[in-house]
Structures are given as C-alpha cells and as structure tokens.
Amino acid sequence: MSIARGGRLPASVNEAMQALNQSVDVDCRLWREDVRGSIVHARGLARAGVIPSDDAEKIVEGLGKVATEIESGQLKWDPVREDVHMNIEARLIELVGPVGGKLHTARSRNDQVATDLRLWTRGQLDEAIKAIADFGAIIIERAEEHIDVLMPAYTHLQRGQPSRLSHHLMAWQELLLRDADRLIDARRRLNECPLGAGAVAGTGFPLDRDWVASELGFDGPMQNSLDATASRDFLMEVASALAILGVHLSRIGEEIVLWSTAEFGFVTLSDEFSTSSSMMPQKKNPDVAELVRGKAARLIGDVTSLFVLEKSLCFGYGRDLQEDKPPIFHAFEGALQSLRALSGAVATCTFNAHRLEAALDAGHVCATDLADLLVTKGVPFREAHHIVGQLVRLAENGNVQLSELPEASRVALHPVLGSLEAAAALDPRQAVERRGLVGGPARARVIEAVAGAKSRWRRIGKD
C-alpha cells in the first residue's frame, strides 16, 4: 500500500528520490506526539459527527496497539512509507482494517506535523526549563557555601577590583534566569494548535478546533490555516533562545577552563568530570567545559539552519520544511547535555579559597578605592585618578604593591595618602563591603541577591 503517494502517482519511485523523500529515520521520534494528536483527532471527528463513535474508538484502540509496538521496538520503521505519520497510519490500517483509513479525514500531514512539532517542542521546553532551574539552584547553593570567600573582579581578564566568589557565581545564575524567561516566553507563544488547518485552507468538516486544542493542552487553535501549516517561527525563536543559552554556558565553561589551570588555580574539577591525556600521564583536563564550548557552536549553527530554511518560503506548505526537524532535535539534545554536564561539574568541583583570595595580593586591586578616598576629600575624580595612577607607576617601578610603598612616597603626591583612611582604603575586605549598592558584592547585598534569586526561580517553577 502506498498511502503517501495516493492514486495520483504510481507506487514505485526512483531510488534516489526515495532516499531524498523519506524522513522517518529522523521524524520517528515524534511518534508519541503523533499518536496523541491522532487519538484526539479521531475523537474530534466523532464529536463532530463525521465518523461514528464506534469507529473512533476502534481507531483509538488500534493507535494504542501501535504505540505499544513502537515502545517495545516491535514496529520497524519503513522508509517506503516516508515518514512517521504514514508508518503509524499504515500499521493502524493493518490492525483495525479499512476503518483506520477514516483517521485522516479532515486532516493533512501539513497540520499533523505542525501539531506534532509544537507538542514535542513544548515538552522539550519544559525539560530544558527544569534543567536550567536545576543548574541555577546548584550555583546558588555554591554561592551560599562560599559567601565569605573574596576574589578579584576582572575586566579585560586583568584584575580590577576586590569582589567575592559568591557575587561572581550569582552573575552566572542571572544569565540562566534570563535564559529560562526566554524559553518560558517562547513556550507561551508556540502553545497554539494547528490541527484543523488542513493542508492549507482548513476543512469543510465541522470540527470543534477549540475542543481539540484544549484536549492537547494548547491555549487555543491557530487563527490562520496558511500560517498554521507553513510557519516555523516558533522553532526559530526556541532555537535562538537555546543558542543564547549555549553561549552563556560556553562563557561559564570558558571561566572553568581558565580557573582550573595551574596559572589560576581557582577551581579543581572532580575526577568524574575530567579526562586525562592519551600521552601525558600527569594531565587532568577540563573537557566537560571545553565540550560545552563546542556545543555552543553547534547550537548557533542550528538556529542559522532554521532561519535560512524558512527565509525564502512562500505561504503554503513547502517540502523544504522536512528539514526543520534535525536542527531543533539537535539543539535540544546539545543544550540539555551541556546543562546537565555543567551542572554536575559545578556541583562537584572544589573552589580553592586560598588561591582566590591570594589573587587580591597583586594587581593594585584597591587603586579605585584610593581614588574614591581622595574624592571624598574634595579632589575632582579626574585629578584623583591621575594621582593614584602616578602612585601605581611608582609601585610598579619598585616592584611592590600600593600598600607597600613608603609613606613618604604616597604623601608626596597627596597628604591624605599617608593617613589611616588610606590604609583602610587599601584593605580588600573593607573595599568589598564599601560596595553596598544594589547589585554590588558587599556581603549583605549578595545575601539579598541569593534570596531574591530563589524567589524568582520559584516563580519560574510555577509558570
């Protein structure tokens, strides 16, 4: 039986065309969504009086048997039947007879696959949002654990000002909060039901599209049949959000790679998230973070593929859209792998507090605080900046830190620089506590940030 080709074309097809035409090796992963949508469609046909209720229940029962066969591996996908939809329908007809042929009444593969894709993507979004939330919780837990550990804040990968490890970790989770928000927003927009849109211009059968949408967990039916069957902007939006997530995970991974070097020594990955070298027996490599960086490149490629795929399509389904599945399948796979692996790495790593705090001993990290002190004494900031810059040059010429300069050298540039206030300004721990504005690294502010983040994650969990 050649269901896909129908009576218009002969049953046979050129071998090269067959290889190009079939997609069941890719879209077979939509089988659960296809069965679910078909069950609701069968019952919707019965509710509308299009087919008898008994026929609908025979179809539903048959679909249940097909699902069991797929789940157990008994059903073998046949590329001659092209795709997951035709494979399931053909097997249904084999099981229940000609009544199975009634299932496709008032339905096209165009609205069928669009529905399946939205159902599948919605489920994957829920999984991804949960994985992001789990990673966010791990980061917050590590931040609380290291609330009193100081470290430098960097710009241009140069030591800039005193900060604390927990503040840095909370910056990671701020990215993740926005990533989760983007996916939640995309989920809301895609949650419309294409079923009933038919091939391109709907159907003349009196289907209750609102009921069908509700049964499938959608907010409602899509409002335009052309748009419903031929638009994949929901995939572009989701893939874009996943690509941004991938970039964020890559940035975190990059810091883990740097921090785990002997030169930094800020973090030690657990053995279970490290690899060794095939040649150098001493090596312990941060491959988990490097692999996550690599996945980000693929995620960017996935969204690019989807953009290019749709950019030249007229309204009305085009077979080009058969290629919309590999990029979104791969994007979710890569994003979820990266999230779970990086979550495990951060949960089990050791942050080396002594190395983090020792990094404050070089780089003149309190230079800005010294300039700020001069400002409080009435010195314009630009002048204060210049004075402290001269002081830094003196320290570097003498191969010492600002706090190690002779008092006479400091006072020669400005009398205040020899005071006890100047000494306090050069204390990293006091410098961190002076940064008590919202969003700053002062201990109380970080504790507030942790509490606020927990509340925001709870709200995300309720959405």
- Say yes or no: 116 and 231 in one domain: yes
Question: Are 63 and 82 found together in one domain?
Answer: yes
Residue-level pLDDT at 186:
98
Whether 338 and 275 map to the same domain: the answer is: yes
CATH of the domain at 27: 1.10.275.10
Are 20 and 142 within one domain? no
Residue 317's CB is within 10 A of a number of other CB atoms, namely 22
Residue where a domain stops, chosen among 322, 357, 392: 357
Same structural domain, 226 and 287: yes
Q: Is there a domain that residue 90 lies in?
A: yes
Are residue 62 and residue 175 in the same domain, yes or no?
Answer: no
pLDDT at 1: 40
Q: How many domains does the chain have?
A: 3
Q: Is residue 10 part of a domain?
A: no
Q: What is the pLDDT of residue 14?
A: 76
Is position 450 within any domain? no
- Candidates 156, 278, 312, 354; catalytic one: 156
For position 121, what pLDDT does the model report?
Answer: 98
Q: Is residue 194 part of a domain?
A: yes
Last residue of a domain, one of 105, 125, 141: 105
Looking at the fold, whether 342 and 255 belong to one and the same domain comes out as yes
Residue 95 counted as domain residue: yes
Task: Look at residue 159 and tell me if it is in a domain.
Answer: no
Do residues 313 and 380 both lie within one domain? no
Co-location of 187 and 289 in the same domain: yes
The active-site residue out of 12, 53, 276, 277 is: 277
pTM over 0.85: yes
Residue 332 lies in a domain: yes
| 104 is known as an active-site residue | no
- Residue 12: φ, ψ to 5°: -80, 155
19 assigned to some structural domain: yes
CATH code at 141? Answer: 1.20.200.10
Same-domain pairing of 226 and 278: yes
Are 42 and 186 members of one domain?
no
Q: Are residues 381 and 331 in the same domain?
A: no
pLDDT of residue 276: 86
Q: Distance between CA 373 and CA 422 in Å, rounded? A: 7
Q: Which residue has the tokens 């949408």?
A: 213
Is 167 catalytic? The answer is: no
The boundaries of the domain holding residue 415 are 360-445
Instruction: Give me the CATH number covering residue 393.
Output: 1.10.40.30
From 357, 386, 402, give the residue that closes a domain. 357
Q: What is the mean pLDDT of each run of 10 residues along the chain (463 residues)?
A: 52 74 87 98 98 98 98 94 93 97 96 97 98 97 98 95 97 97 97 96 96 98 95 96 98 97 96 86 90 96 95 86 92 97 97 97 92 92 94 92 87 87 92 94 97 94 72
